[in-house]
Amino acid sequence: MLKPENTQLAPDGQPFEQVTLQNAAGATATFMDWGATWLSFTLPLADGTTRELLLGCQSPHDYMNQSAYLGATVGRYANRIARAQFEIEGKPHLVVANQGVHQLHGGPEGFHARRWKILSQSTQKVSFQLFSADGDQGFPGNMTATVHYQLTDDNRLEIRYDATVDKLCPVNLTNHAYFNLDGEGTDARQHKLQLFADRFLPVDSDGIPCADPTTVENTGMNFNAPKTLAKDFLSDRDQQRVKGYDHAYLLNRTCNSGEFPAAHLWSADGKVQMTVFTSAPALQLYSGNFLGGTPNRTGGEYASYSGVALESEFLPDSPNHATWPQPSCWIKPGQTYKSATTYQFFPL
């Protein structure tokens, strides 16, 4: 179902367009073309009620007044690039900084802040495409990026990305959805998480990597066994630097095929489970440390820690760390960047 939001105009002066997918089970997933943003996921529960599982705003226009990247497709390079620079053929190359001296999520006018073209849509699928010109936010080469969303009858939201470039460029696309499986107005740190990763990436107070991938063993960063986010919250210096969890986890190699789960997340009330599958090498766990003040669905504001993000990606600042144990984030002309992530929801 395609519907223009006629009452409000996007920054380019044109209406926002929304697409709602629905499956046979009655679950819905809603998206808009601005930022190829995932707006909503509603799941019928075992007791017959329906629950909203994503954080979101009251109207499309409210998404222009928040800096949490709620549900947005982010790129060209998701997460941080230290000092907003990397080297190409031995020469420094600058991109546009938007977090102090660093770049976050592709720059101030990154893919989250663009109108994507709706390529195709049906009852359970929608595809968006964006052209990014040479020099956009400082990145080299012309790039065409496509994101495909599909809602399956077993409540899987499948996201597939592909992109091509005509100059060597680092590429890292992800979706920045925040989940609260209990619904709105609760502290998401009461969710239970299992994350299949033996190593995480330590960061400084700016979120910039300050060490190589490090074992989670004997730290509060360890989610190999299920536990609530609250259990070891702020127990490590790594968390204290960024006011909670905001760290990339290097997934165990069995996860990257997309066949075996990368993570499970459970609502505090035990009524919903979410399982994440991905082909990406890492998941960024973000506990919503700076969500406070973000507009919510009812006209109010979210508190910090109202949602959990599990973003599939390359490790942050990967363009500057060729030796890290993951595939290269650099795409050459003639190659196609591909990444796939699935969020599956289970009423319990």
Round to whole Å and give the CA distance between 248 and 213: 9
pLDDT in tens, 251-288: 999 887 778 999 999 999 999 999 999 999 999 999 99
Whether 176 is catalytic is yes
**Within the chain, what is the greatest distance between any pair of CA atoms?**
60
User: What is the rounded average pLDDT for all residues in the chain?
Assistant: 96
Nearest to 57 by CA among 302, 303, 296: 296
- pLDDT-derived band at 346 (thresholds 50, 70, 90) equals very high
pLDDT in tens, 311-340: 999 999 999 999 999 999 999 999 999 999
pLDDT of residue 6: 46
Q: Would you say residue 289 has pLDDT above 80?
A: yes
pLDDT of residue 348: 97
Q: Domains in the chain, please, with CATH?
A: 2-347 (2.70.98.10)
Round to whole Å and give the CA distance between 237 and 219: 10
State mean pLDDT over 125-130.
98
Rounded to the nearest 5 degrees, what angle is found at the Cα of 323, between the Cα atoms of 333 and 331?
10
Q: Give, in order, the Cα–Cα distances in Å from 341 to each of 140, 164, 231, 255.
A: 26, 19, 27, 11
Annotated catalytic residue: which of 176, 191, 247, 264?
Answer: 176
Annotated catalytic residue: which of 158, 184, 311, 313?
Answer: 311
pLDDT of residue 5: 45
pLDDT of residue 255: 87
State mean pLDDT over 216-240.
97
- pLDDT-derived band at 185 (thresholds 50, 70, 90) equals confident
State mean pLDDT over 60-89.
97
* Ramachandran category for residue 141: left, alpha or beta (phi over 0 → left; psi -120 to 50 → alpha): left
CB 339 within 8 A of CB 76: no
Residue 347 burial (10 A CB sphere; 0-12, 13-18, 19+): middle
160-164: Cβ within 8 A, 24+ apart: 160/338, 160/339, 160/340, 161/337, 161/338, 161/339, 161/340, 162/336, 162/337, 162/338, 163/75, 163/331, 163/336, 163/337, 164/331, 164/333, 164/335, 164/336, 164/337
Q: Would you say residue 186 has pLDDT above 60?
A: yes
What does the DSSP assignment read for 221-234? T--SS-EETTTTTT
Helix (H, G, I), strand (E, B) or coil at 347: strand
pLDDT of residue 7: 63
CB 243 within 8 A of CB 286: no
pLDDT of residue 256: 78
State mean pLDDT over 223-230.
98
What does the DSSP assignment read for 306-345? S-BEEEEESPTTGGG-TTSSS---EE-TT--EEEEEEEEE
What does the DSSP assignment read for 165-191? ESS-EE-B-EE---B-TT-TTS-GGGS
CA 45 distance to own-chain centroid = 25
Cα dihedral 154, 156, 157, 162, rounded to 10, equals -120
Share of the chain above pLDDT 70, in %: 98
CB atoms within 10 A of CB 52: 16
Round to whole Å and give the CA distance between 243 and 320: 25
Amino acid at 19: V
pLDDT of residue 315: 98
Q: Would you say residue 72 has pLDDT above 60?
A: yes
Share of the chain above pLDDT 90, in %: 95
State mean pLDDT over 96-113.
98
Round to whole Å and give the CA distance between 191 and 188: 5
Q: Give, in order, the Cα–Cα distances in Å from 89 to each of 133, 167, 332.
A: 21, 12, 13
